[in-house]
Structure 1
Amino acid sequence: MSMISARIERLPFARFHVHLLLMGGLGYLFDAMDAAVLAFILPVLRTAWGLTNVETGVLGSSTFVGYLFGALLAGTLGDLIGRRAVMMSALALYSVASLVSATVDSWPAFFAARVVAGMGTGAESAIIAPYLAEFVARRYRGAFTGALAGFFSFGFVAAALLGYFIVPAYENGWRIVLVITAVPVVMLLWWRRSLPESPRWLESRGRAKEAEAVLDKIEASFAREGRALPAPIAEPAAPVVSTGTLRSNFAALLAGRQARITTMTWIMWLSITFSYYSFFVWIPGLLVQNGMSITKSFGYSLAMYCAQVPGYFTAAFFNERIGRQATIATYMLLGGVSALGLAFAASDGQIMAAGLLLSFFMNGTYAGVYAYTAEVFPTSIRTTGAGLASAIGRIGAIVAPILVGYLYPNFGFAGVFGVTTSVLLIGALTVVLMGVPTRGRSLEDIASEAA
């Protein structure tokens, strides 16, 4: 029986959790802003540095390359050395690399800086949700983690505003924007002072005294607020998983029934990320080729970004109402329907409506995906599993634009949307058929079923 889990499960939602939500959410906000702002910078750099199409494309892929390796490293290190150290290191790496990228004067140096920055954002994105979910009781964990991912939407909106109002307004506007994206380095001071290590992870590493000390401080903050806590009810202990080394952690992901869960997360991440980037990288350009110039307007782009906000937060709400699996599958399927609507849109008004729905549902899916991924692995391999799934998802982001570039000339809109909606359907079915229910269950209970 685990009293560490019991003490966490009895905590009501309070100021402590709001602080965690803001700290993790701001990390996600700047991650999204860093990735999205590159689309507004590349046209300026292409002209200023006389870049070829190939060089511009290489720069465009820089963040994804770094993200893949960052997610993989953060996941493995998060289980080996601790969540807190990885989260803070990732933020420092990202901020410094962003600042360096604002000072360079050649595309190879810019590419290198962006890859390193991408490693930082990838590491943060992989570690934040599974780390902070370990502090939250089962009754609102899905909504908390979904809302945490919702901060991505604010980052995209911020990137659009910076890209349209600062980049073209100054001779070195792109440098100014990159300096702004490096601002999170000041968050390190707040995180260093406020972020505790995960008691669940400490317990999984045999450091029970340290775990109890962390919870003593957390519970003391409730006492200072005058909030009495109910007596803890002992939770089933998490299954013992043979871990502690990189090799054993990866082996545990593919051992027994856990292999099914791990495979499910890979397919889930691949399907949503592949489809997302298929739609949002190629659709505007394809529509422009068909004479739909609205997709080049600031109003259209800003509306797409703003539609993310209710998409994420409604999904966070449904995480607790209908469960993570149902939320993910529903939003995936409705995203596919919205994409079909966009494919057959015949006017600017129809494009706007279908585009808003597509952005709403595709981004909302991620609120379920982040919450679900943070729950389905045992504590001792949680960040390894989440980081690997996120990294595999990046493969979908890299492959999607290439495959769509092949499909469209040969099979047209029907081929592009046929493949992407089929991938979404496969992802939805995989989550429903291969996943495990997590709503209303402690992390230890979920891990026991997977074992």
Structure 2
Amino acid sequence: MTVLSARIERLPFSGFHRRLLLIGGLGYTFDAMDAAVIAFVLPVLRTAWNLDSGQVGVLASANFIGFFFGALLAGSLGDLIGRRMVMMSALAVYCVASFFSAMVNDWNSFLVLRVLAGLGTGAESVIIAPYLSEFVARRYRGRFTGALAGFFSFGFVAAALLGYLIVPASEDGWRIVILITAAPVLMLLWWRRVLPESPRWLESQGRNAEADAIVAAMEHAIVRGGQPLPALDPHDVAAAPPSRERGGLLKNYATLLSRRLLPTTSMTWLMWLSITFSYYTFFTWIPSLLVQNGMTMTKSFGYSLVMYLAQVPGYFSAAWLNDRIGRQATIVSYMLMGMLAALGMAFARGDAQIMAAGVLLSFFLNGTYAGVYAYTPEVFPTQVRATGAGLASAIGRIGGITAPILVGYVYPKLGFAGVFGTTTAALLMGSAAVWIMGVPTRGRSLEDIATEKIS
């Protein structure tokens, strides 16, 4: 560990970290709103534009197609040009595309703009966790990043409320809801003023004076807030000097696929593919599936809202467990419990059973993400952290792309049992990958984990 990293590791949780949590959390909230609101818009557009099941499935996947390319782009650029600029640029792209998607009147234009909006949300979602995890100490990093991901739940709940209250209220209700999701463009003004670049990334690029100034400002803010600044741990500062190795795009990808990192890279791919496929199989289609299962649109939206509310305790319970039992154990436990809930959903009979199984599935799938977002940035070295997280997220979005399309074709033939049976199989695959191929990260600095992976 370098002296600069040791200075970050000694810092107590403070107002500076709470501000970072709020900034990143708001980004995740609006990302989730954008992804979730399409589930409430689709039933309306299906009728208004006379769409068939295949077209609805493609629209449901449009956001994730953009997300795939946004994740790849943000991960690569985040390691090459820095985390901060990628995060702000991604937000701008998302807001502009979202705004114009509310103005169109045909399937083709809406599809293109939803892909572009997904490009922005994909880039932003990928960069936030690796970026902000580099500011926090190991002793509370799991809770911090898990709670950061927990803001996704607020976005989904907000989308469900908007879908329940506004979409059915008027013919243009769906347009109003999408316009609301474009509102965070105003956050750019705040972010430009208060967001520093990651000092760990700056140090990895040899920009030591800039990195030192940012950490000094963090230390000053903590002292000014009345908290004592602990002494440096001599074990932390007795390590190697900062790496001077520079990466390029191809070199970073080669590093991820090297003999040392390939098992970790493969594990993150399987983990993300499993949870993203399962998640969007459930959340993108649940309002439409409930309608097709005999519920009125209003009743299905109400049921969906309750299921979405279950996300909040799911995320934050797992965030707490991240530092109690470790990220690996949290992810595997929540995936396996989610698998049981998916089986319950597959064989549910009647509205009450569907509601109970849906609430449990929502709880455990979202809890899994709290572990996944904390775990993924930790297992990659600083030089390829954003690239590794971006590539894993992009691979996961293949599941997000295929899940809605697959449901569009599977449900008419196999019903609930077919849809949620595939979810069960995916979660079993993901939990096995994390259990067998994962590495422990609880209580370890990012530099300590990286040293083990590349030594």
Q: Does 1:272 align with 2:275?
A: yes
**TM-score, normalised on structure 1?**
0.94
User: Offset at 1:65?
Assistant: 1.0
CA deviation profile, 1:181-216 (whole Å, cap 9, x unmatched): 111111111111111000000011111111001111
Instruction: Return the alpha-carbon distance in structure 2 between the equivalents of residues 179 and 113 of structure 1.
Output: 13
Corresponding residue for 2:307?
Answer: 304
SS in 2 for 1:441: coil
Corresponding residue for 1:146?
Answer: 146
Q: Does 1:435 align with 2:438?
A: yes
User: Offset at 1:93?
Assistant: 1.0
Instruction: Return the alpha-carbon distance in structure 2 between the equivalents of residues 34 and 202 of structure 1.
Output: 32
* 8 Å contact kept, 1:237–1:444: no
Corresponding residue for 1:41?
Answer: 41
SS in 1 for 2:137: coil
SS in 1 for 2:39: helix
Greater Cα shift, 377-386 or 108-117: 108-117
Corresponding residue for 2:358?
Answer: 355
SS in 2 for 1:244: coil
Instruction: Return the alpha-carbon distance in structure 2 between the equivalents of residues 329 and 190 of structure 1.
Output: 37
Greater Cα shift, 349-358 or 151-160: 349-358
* 8 Å contact kept, 2:346–2:421: no
Instruction: Return the alpha-carbon distance in structure 2 between the equivalents of residues 110 and 64 of structure 1.
Output: 14
Q: Does 1:373 align with 2:373?
A: no
Corresponding residue for 2:322?
Answer: 319
Greater Cα shift, 49-58 or 363-372: 49-58
SS in 2 for 1:321: coil
Instruction: Return the alpha-carbon distance in structure 2 between the equivalents of residues 432 and 238 of structure 1.
Output: 33
User: Offset at 1:278?
Assistant: 3.0
**TM-score, normalised on structure 2?**
0.93
What letter is aligned with 1:215?
V
Give percent identity, aligned residues only.
71
Greater Cα shift, 320-329 or 226-235: 226-235
What letter is aligned with 2:441?
T
Instruction: Return the alpha-carbon distance in structure 2 between the equivalents of residues 173 and 416 of structure 1.
Output: 29
Corresponding residue for 2:453?
Answer: 450
* 8 Å contact kept, 1:238–1:448: no
User: Structure 1 pair 61/416, CA: closer, same or farther in 2 (3 Å)?
Assistant: closer
Instruction: Return the alpha-carbon distance in structure 2 between the equivalents of residues 285 and 184 of structure 1.
Output: 28
User: Offset at 1:354?
Assistant: 1.3
* 8 Å contact kept, 2:62–2:401: no
Corresponding residue for 2:181?
Answer: 181
Instruction: Return the alpha-carbon distance in structure 2 between the equivalents of residues 127 and 299 of structure 1.
Output: 33
Corresponding residue for 1:399?
Answer: 402
User: Offset at 1:337?
Assistant: 0.5
User: Structure 1 pair 343/56, CA: closer, same or farther in 2 (3 Å)?
Assistant: closer
Q: Does 1:246 align with 2:253?
A: no
Among 382, 386, 390, the residue aligned to 1:387 = 390
What letter is aligned with 1:321?
R
Q: Give the superposed CA RMSD.
A: 2.3
CA deviation profile, 1:112-162 (whole Å, cap 9, x unmatched): 222111111001110000100000100000000000001111101111111
User: Offset at 1:397?
Assistant: 1.6
* 8 Å contact kept, 2:61–2:404: no
Summarize the alignment of residues 18-417 of structure 1 with structure 2, pairs less than 5 Å apart: 18-233=18-233, 234-235=236-237, 236-237=239-240, 240=243, 243-281=246-284, 296-404=299-407, 416-417=419-420
CA deviation profile, 1:371-413 (whole Å, cap 9, x unmatched): 0002110011000000000010010122234445565666666
User: Structure 1 pair 86/407, CA: closer, same or farther in 2 (3 Å)?
Assistant: same
User: Offset at 1:33?
Assistant: 0.3
Greater Cα shift, 423-432 or 438-447: 423-432
User: Structure 1 pair 39/249, CA: closer, same or farther in 2 (3 Å)?
Assistant: same
User: Structure 1 pair 74/17, CA: closer, same or farther in 2 (3 Å)?
Assistant: same
Instruction: Return the alpha-carbon distance in structure 1 between the equivalents of residues 97 and 287 of structure 2.
Output: 30
User: Offset at 1:57?
Assistant: 3.5
User: Offset at 1:237?
Assistant: 4.3
Instruction: Return the alpha-carbon distance in structure 1 between the equivalents of residues 277 and 404 of structure 2.
Output: 9
User: Structure 1 pair 170/415, CA: closer, same or farther in 2 (3 Å)?
Assistant: closer
Greater Cα shift, 337-346 or 129-138: 337-346
Instruction: Return the alpha-carbon distance in structure 2 between the equivalents of residues 404 and 108 of structure 1.
Output: 21
Instruction: Return the alpha-carbon distance in structure 2 between the equivalents of residues 213 and 87 of structure 1.
Output: 21
Instruction: Return the alpha-carbon distance in structure 1 between the equivalents of residues 155 and 229 of structure 2.
Output: 36
Instruction: Return the alpha-carbon distance in structure 1 between the equivalents of residues 133 and 301 of structure 2.
Output: 36
Instruction: Return the alpha-carbon distance in structure 2 between the equivalents of residues 92 and 361 of structure 1.
Output: 32
User: Offset at 1:239?
Assistant: 8.4
User: Structure 1 pair 60/247, CA: closer, same or farther in 2 (3 Å)?
Assistant: same
SS in 1 for 2:138: coil
SS in 2 for 1:255: coil
What letter is aligned with 1:132?
L
* 8 Å contact kept, 2:203–2:242: no
Instruction: Return the alpha-carbon distance in structure 2 between the equivalents of residues 48 and 286 of structure 1.
Output: 18
* 8 Å contact kept, 2:61–2:405: no
User: Structure 1 pair 286/241, CA: closer, same or farther in 2 (3 Å)?
Assistant: farther
What letter is aligned with 2:303?
Y
